[in-house]
Amino acid sequence: MNNQSLLQLPRYKCWPRYANGQQVFHLHDRNYVGVSTILKATEPLEVQAQLAAWRSRVGAEEAERIIRASINRGKRLHRLVENHFLQSQGAEATPEFWGYWQSLQPVLSEITDVYLVEGLVWHPHGFAGVTDALLAYQGQMCVCDWTTSPKPKQWTWIQNKCLQVAAYTAAINRVYQSYGVRVNQAQIVIALPDTDAQVFRLEPSQLMDFWHQFQDRLAEYKKLCAIPTH
């Protein structure tokens, strides 16, 4: 990876506030709701039912353990990737996490440019969030989401991730418009413990479909919370 190509865009930071279970970013005298908050609040009933059935099947305690483990793995992976791109000292892959880190190496080797890492982005529609990365993968600029899983995932299992990256893509195009950024592709990379990472690519037409779906979810959220639509 060409070191001179790293982090060409300004990176914005803003600590979110939490109120009534909602994640809110206060920017430019306005509150922006976190993308994850919007998606959670508007989760379809069938998805809620599936989650409830899973909790019932494995038990509440085991469900919480699995969820905490997933969150902790995700945090560790994000720290490792951020340190890798920033070429800074910090978190290292521990023996029990080594497989996940090695899983990413084929993907990392195909990245030629990195424009933004762990940067806050926001959109005039009233949402915001921290995008994992904006980079060039196999020569194509795309928004990238990093996650982990103990086993491979199916396309139908990552629909919320697709909605999330679609929202971040729209926000990136607004925030960095003056820099000439116009990205229309995204990918979700899933690190696995004992094999190469899965890469789910979202081509422009797919990404646009998910953007429309996210806008519907956003409208539903605003209606639920009685937030003005303008």
- pLDDT digit string, tens, across residues 67-89: 888 888 888 898 999 988 887 65
Q: What torsion do the CA atoms of 9, 15, 18, 22 make, to the nearest 10 degrees?
A: 0
34-48, 79-93, 99-113 — which is least confidently predicted?
Answer: 79-93
DSSP E strands in 54-126: the ranges are: 111-123
Residues contacting residue 12 through CB under 8 Å, at least 6 positions apart: 119, 120, 121, 175
Residue pair 37/218 in contact by the 8 Å Cβ criterion: no
Residue pair 130/175 in contact by the 8 Å Cβ criterion: no
Q: What pLDDT, on a 0 to 100 scale, did the predictor assign at position 1? A: 42
Please give the model's pTM, rounded to 2 decimal places.
Answer: 0.90
How many CB atoms lie under 10 A from the CB of residue 229? 9
**Mean of pLDDT values over 38-62:** 87
Residue pair 23/117 in contact by the 8 Å Cβ criterion: no
Q: What is the rounded CA–CA span in Å between residue 135 and residue 112?
A: 8
Residue pair 160/39 in contact by the 8 Å Cβ criterion: yes
Instruction: In the chain, count H helices and then E strands.
Output: 6, 8
pLDDT at 115 over 80: yes
**Mean of pLDDT values over 144-168:** 96
Q: What is the rounded CA–CA span in Å between residue 121 and residue 10?
A: 11
Reported as a pLDDT band with limits 50, 70 and 90, residue 91 is low
CA dist 194 to 57, 98, 111, 149, 150, Å? 27, 9, 22, 11, 9
Quick: pLDDT tens for 124-145: 999 999 999 999 999 999 999 9
What domains appear along the chain, each with residue ranges and CATH number?
Answer: 3-224 (3.40.1350.10)
Of 228, 227, 199, residue with least CA distance to 138: 199
Residue 167, token pair as written in the block: 């929202």
Using a 10 angstrom Cβ sphere, with 0-12 exposed, 13-18 middle and 19 or more buried, the burial of residue 177 is: exposed
Reported as a pLDDT band with limits 50, 70 and 90, residue 227 is low
